[in-house]
Structure 1
Amino acid sequence: MASTERTTGLTDLARVGFSELAQADAGLAELVETLGIDRAQAAAPAATAPDPDAALQALLWVARRDPAALRLAASDERRWAQLWLLLGASRGFGEFYGRHPREIGKLEGGADALPSETELRETLLSAVGAQDGFADDGSEDAWVRLRIAYRTQLARIALFDLSHVAPEAVLDAVAAALADAAGAALEASLCVARTRISTDGPAGQFSREQVDATQLAIIGMGKCGARELNYVSDVDVIFVAGTDDESLVSESRAVDIGTRLAVQTMRGISGVEIEPPLWEVDPNLRPEGKQGALVRTLDSHVAYYERWAKSWEFQALLKARPIAGNRVLGDAYIDAVQPRVWASAARENFVDSVQRMRERVTDHIPQDEVAQQIKLGPGGIRDVEFTVQLLQLVHGLSDEAIRQRGTLSAINALVAEGYIGRTDAAAFARDYRLLRVLEHRLQLRRLSRTHLMPTDPDELRVLARATGLADTGAELVSQWESIKREVRDIHVRLFYRPLLSAVAALPAEERALSEDQAHDRLAAIGFLDPPGALRHIRALTTGLSRKATIQRHLMPVMIRWFADGVDPDYGLISFRRLSERLGDTPWFLRMLRDSTGAAERLTRVLSGSRYVGELVEWIPESAAWLDHEEHLRPRSGVALQEEARAIQTRHRSIEDAARAVRALRRREVLRTAMGGVLGILSIDEIADALTTITEVTIQATLRAVRRDAVPPEDDALDFSVIAMGRFGGAELGFGSDADVLYVYRANGLEDGRASQLANALVAGLRQHSEDLRLPLDLDADLRPEGRTGPLVRSLDAYAAYYRRWSLSWEAQALLRSRGVAGSVKLIGAFTDLADAVRYPASADENGLREIKRIKARVENERLPQGVDPARHLKLGPGSLSDVEWLVQLLQLQHAHAVPELRTTSTLRALDALAAHSLLPASAVERLRHAWILASRLRSANTLLSGQTSDVLPTDRRKLDGLARLLEYPPHSASQVEEDYLGATRRARRVFEKYFYG
């Protein structure tokens, strides 16, 4: 029977959380006997203790030393439960009460309320008998009394913390109480120090009057200064000395006395005495660090910060607060350094230095600790704190509302002022609280400074019970890993915002857009219409809405970025239109604020390209692409084809289908234009993308038109579209026409009916591809007989024409023909027909001479009147026309024998000419360079102005705009002009030698 009872008892012990069951059973028996209480009463609170074994061990230790003290606690059910809770969370407090059992009686009421700052100071000052700044006892016993009193108050704070079901909810209050307790301890220790160094004290050197006349302010830094301290943390301090009466104590003497006071004060907290130290007092954030004087005057501090301080020192001062000593001197210190703190972000490379410092902190973590670091590791507490501090320091240059000491209060201010999105802020604050709760429970465990997540399963189980965040250690680790990932993601997005560097680099006069100075400033940085710019700025930033608030923060930086662009005025008005089109869409402003570069990219595309600006106004959602470079790269032809076919499935009406296809084309051309303006795409990628988009557009439109125009009974008709010119060569630029031929094959239909249907297809294709927003000109002027010939012919008609009437220029035109839409079989047949014409076994010398005569006539007759030939990008000497005609002449001569020349691409043909020594490599390189540069300038001309033009402008501002689009540095108008004229001169010499020679 006894065995059964014992087994049942052990099972109950395991159920409430004991691990060492036999020891627990024996320990409870001893506790019951010592205190004279029944077993059920003794063990009832064990289930609430994070570590019942540790709690029981501590209770036994106290019971053996002072059973009366513990018996008193056990007589009150609530106090007994609180004692189990505290000792089960903290072996450190078990050891403390083992040394001082009578202090248990002072726990009463600890779970109900935190001690106030006043209560903490009065209690700790009373412990050392402080009066008028001096302790009644300068012996080491006073320090022992101080440390005992401090830990007693710390136990009250811990009990309040542990008693809450959601400890993260009371984190702010608990951390503030811990900071207040630290300040009170330093104040009490300073009183002991004053007594100790006075002549009647054990370390006496100075008269009581001299010590009394010496001012010493203790400035709390870091978490203590911000009132967000841990249970056991280094308390960072700075000491400032001064004098009340220079007739008693000179300033230099005050520094000497202050230094002795500082040393003794720190010893009272951190020195090795009978009672263990409380925590480390760390004065190493002082000027010059460990090498610097421990104590300085206020003037000495200010002089150092003005001349020598590094960026990290100002970051540290962000949280500075007087916590002990002379309050007037402490306040004067804060008043002196705060303006410098909030101006520090304007220092050169400030943002970069803070970012590098955070990385160095991570790099210096021992490799075997990185994964366990709650504080310093990736996704840890420091990621939150560094992010918040950097945002504060940068934006606090001009916004006093975010100048907060505490991390959580700063997050609240940053979200209220629009610098952080609500979602990110809520996640950051929540995760920060949870990480701090983990840190607190780890430090409570042994009242020691630690930030490492345990790996031992038993310790993890205890930590899970102590935090209340999870039921098991494994669940706690999983939750912690999830928190780390979320923190790291937000940290990387916010901490490395390009916007931060841009804001910090703004000149002081541009940080706030004041009405009085804005007009002149806008004119000075490049706006041609300052009054207009001011109107747009006011429209964007006026009001109390969150949208207006965020715009006010963004605008100074974006104005500077617009000013760095080609056309700031147009960029700003386009941005206003875009903002109005998007209205209160939450993602837009959030993206500009939080993205890794979207805001700057947007200013570049809007101020650098009217072509983009006009399309963005109609496709405002395209702004989202700027957040990810991959969204600015062309979509594949397969993806576009799938979307185009889906359009045909969704839309039965030809009008609806054509409208959807036009929308697809506008969107994809805009995507390509953005990629081109931002330098993401090369000229080859742009040409490929524009060609693919045009092909897909024609194919999709043709399918929709055929469905509408060709009855099922006439479906035997074959119809195809043949690309010509730059379209055929897959060399389209922005603003290029799409040169085409139309061909059909009757396949048994009556000839008249087939011709009628083919003409209907052409008419429908031309009608439904028209786009007033983004014109697509299907130009059929390269067809046989030119504009006077039929718009569409049968394959047989083409064959008959080319057999009898084909002219040399038509064979030349066919060199770039390529089927792009319609019947694949018909395209193959047309290609065979074209090959016979364009790749003759032997070139017709008369035909070649005719091509040369036509080229000369084109140069004389087709150039627009009044245009400088040297500046014409298409027909000018050494430009596109020269290169293409020379290549095509050589193709007519040699393509039959050299298969590599059978290409519609100018650049691939040049490669083949060089590879087969039909042109010297140096000549090919000159032709290639001129052709590419002319092609890029032609597209850039369209992007810049929004209008198609083949003339290199003479206006220096426009030239500079073209240069910027070609990725020249600012103010390169002359350079791009010289480069183009030089390249075309060299190409012209090659052309004349090999074309006419």
Structure 2
Amino acid sequence: MTAETLPPADPPRPATDHEPEAVTRLRREALSALEEAAPEALGRLRADPELTADLERVAPASEFVVRALTARPDLLGELVDSGDLGRAYDEGEYARRVEQALAEAADDNALGVALRRLRRREMVRIIWRDLAGRAELDATTLDLSAFAEACIDGALAHLETWQRAEMGTPMGAYSGTIQRLVVLGMGKLGAGELNVSSDIDLIFAFPEAGETAGATRSVDNERYFTRLGQRLIQALDATTAEGRVFRVDMRLRPFGEAGALVASFDALETYYQLHGREWERYALIKARVVGGDRTAGAALMEQLRPFVYRRYLDYGAFESIRDMKALINREVRRKGLEGNIKLGAGGIREVEFIAQAFQLIRGGRDSELRRRDLRGVLRLLAADDVLTDYAARELDAAYVFLRHLEHRLQGRADRQTHELPTDADERALLAWAMGEADWEALAHRISDERDGVRGHFEQVFAAPQTEHAESDPGDLALVWQEGLEPEETDAALAAAGFGDPATARERLSALRRGHAYRGLSNRGRERLDHLMPLLLGAVGGRDAPGRTLERALELVERIARRSVYLALLVENPMALSQLVKLCEASPWIAKQLGQHPVLLDDLLDPATLYRPPDRTELERDADLRLRRVADDDLEAQMDALRDFAQTAMLRVAAADVAEAVPLMVVSDHLTHLAEVILDRVLTLAWSHLTARHGRPSCRQDGAVCDTGFAIIGYGKLGGWELGYGSDLDLVFLHDSETEDEPTDGERPVASAVFFARLAQRIIHLLGAQTASGTLYEVDVRLRPSGAAGLLVTNLEGFRRYQEGSAWTWEHQALVRARPVAGDPAVAETFEATRREILTRPRDPETVQTEVRDMRRRMRETHASSGSDRFDLKQDPGGMADIEFMVQYGVLAHAHEHPGLVDFTDNIRLLERLAEAGCLAAEEADSLAGAYRAYRARRHRLTLQEAPTVVPATEFVDERRAVLAAWQRLMGETLETG
């Protein structure tokens, strides 16, 4: 979902088809007061029909606006004459107005007076435009936030100048540089979402310890900045005859009201590392530098980012926010605030909690979610399918409605309130201002919007289920806690479905007494204690509970130290259910999940888990993940690709074990995945090298032209037969004919060197081991001259090698070769060379002998020993025999039937050989059937982490058909053991 698909945030307009008597009376009284205080200005306003209509809406709705205009009769005329009531400000205009207002201020008192007078003017303008329907919600909240930021920054600049003259210039003890205060805006100020009568939450910080220089008596930096902070608060918050600018709340600083007013960057970081609580992570989501040293402030925000956004999926946020909401609910009940549209059920805070919970959970992996504006977060959550499109729309609409309601409550008298009125006249006025027919209609609308929010909140934050089976979860909790006698424990496990309860009991005891459990934090133990009864209930309902429990417990031991993954399984019964199902189906999948627990997030939606992504989805997902990390952070880019690859492979494997997709489609998905990754890795490696050395080029007919590079896939990749954990057989080609031509960058290298480094970089990026694992192992031994040859070959050299030096087995390999990434022109030339080589006339008997001899050497090296087993790949009658017969058929007959080189996969090549008359149709069908059956079994055995060897009593008919074809086609009789 894009930004344009969310509902508009247009403000409500007062109803025009009716008007309560209270509204008429309030308007009459307001206009009478304005007529008396500023008749000339009012006359100029009424000369403008649009401003007159605005006044009709604003006058009865805002006592604050009327009071301000009558107290300062010149203000109305100035606003009318300037045109500011009818226009939106340009960017930076608030800062310019603050600077102008403070230009003549000589001390703190004059500064405070100037700010308060400017505040009266700008608040009248902002509230006027809001109530008149001239500014949508986002424009109003951004105006309020920009004005507050300008007041903070402008006041601080003057106070800083004056204080330096008095106390000296603060210097860093380590850097020796001038130190300046950094003001962090928290909450709605940080998010650019201030309301019309909001306080501002601030935190003060300074870069490093030290003391002042240039004064008669030095003071340490903490004392200096404490004094500066106090002066700033006084300038903004003190109530004088002119009112105040903003209420300032400093309680979000470390240790709250008991803590120091200011802290150094290191002290802040230490505090959050050692003492930071979950609600402080929530608060820091919206933190933004709003005053002082912006450069240092940006460094501070980066320093604090790991505390806010964890590198892994942090499902503990649900638990923490549920606890925070419980505290709020108790306070609401204690103070009787059920009707509070901010804190009550279904209020503004619940919408914020929903958005920010997912930010805490996913923001460590998804940098796009590290934004402060709530509506923008809802858009992203819908675009990423974290929230449904419907839920995001409904939450956004409710949020906009409640914020407009908040502004009309607060704009009435410039009073910070979220309580709905009880007075009949005030209710009628509020309903009219919100465009509703009467109070009953507005109350019904409020109830509907809050009910909708409450429903979504409960769906997101519902307490986790405590049952997964018919067995008593209390009994299973006692089983885990070892609170029963052994006989009682065995009886409870048997009732839960365990056929061998004694073994299960011993395994649970080993986990509980082992290092994995004893090494957990208190919170981690609580989460594991909560999870284990649920896990036992889920496992007990499976067909093989003992085997499944063993796999599941091994996984739990692996992930326990990151207890947020335990929280994920506790919070999401569906994820736990899918985990148990996959553990039962495949130890390979269980091990993958244990090694890469970030994949657990993909268990949340079975609809996508068992539907492998197609090529378009893969490309979109890969690009989305790469966009979420910085362009210059190669390590993060590779981690993003590894997470992407593991997620996609898990979905393929899940669909495979569920038999939701056929074998051929499994290999297609795995091959598409490899191609997408190779394309992105090539792009990253190319960007890295060209940034350093420039682009490679060559000369043709005296002109300089770009050179291209392509990756050729051989073997299983080239033949569309990739399996789980398959290596990639790759060959690298380029089309530069003048390999000594330098690149065009500041540090040029010869083109041949550039392409060699490019290939090395690709191999490294694919095979490097990180915390997120590896992408693929790469085998480049099929390149010309093998391990003794150059890593990268130009097209002409490749063609000459294939024509004059390649062995028959290398032409066999060429049968299954195809371009998989890189320059289309290079790929096209390779395809032409491949076709030319494979369609050359060959002596069938010579080809037969050479292919047969090569297969014999392979069989002697790799075949199993003993007649009671059958190696699906290497034994006589296995997959390799089929592959070699296909390759022989192509090499022997492609010169007469060039269509034989159109494909690289064995199944379609068998079809082409039958169409060409090189194989009987029945024979081709039987070979294709045997090949599919072998591959399917190999896939299953891989997922079971078992050798690809089966009893010799299996596949008897298939082996017989393959051996018969080999005898007829290759002229050799093979023994089966």
TM-score range, shorter chain: 0.3 to 0.5
Larger Rg: 1 or 2? 1
Greater share of residues in helix = 1
Q: Which has the higher contact order (CA 8 A, sep 6+)?
A: 2
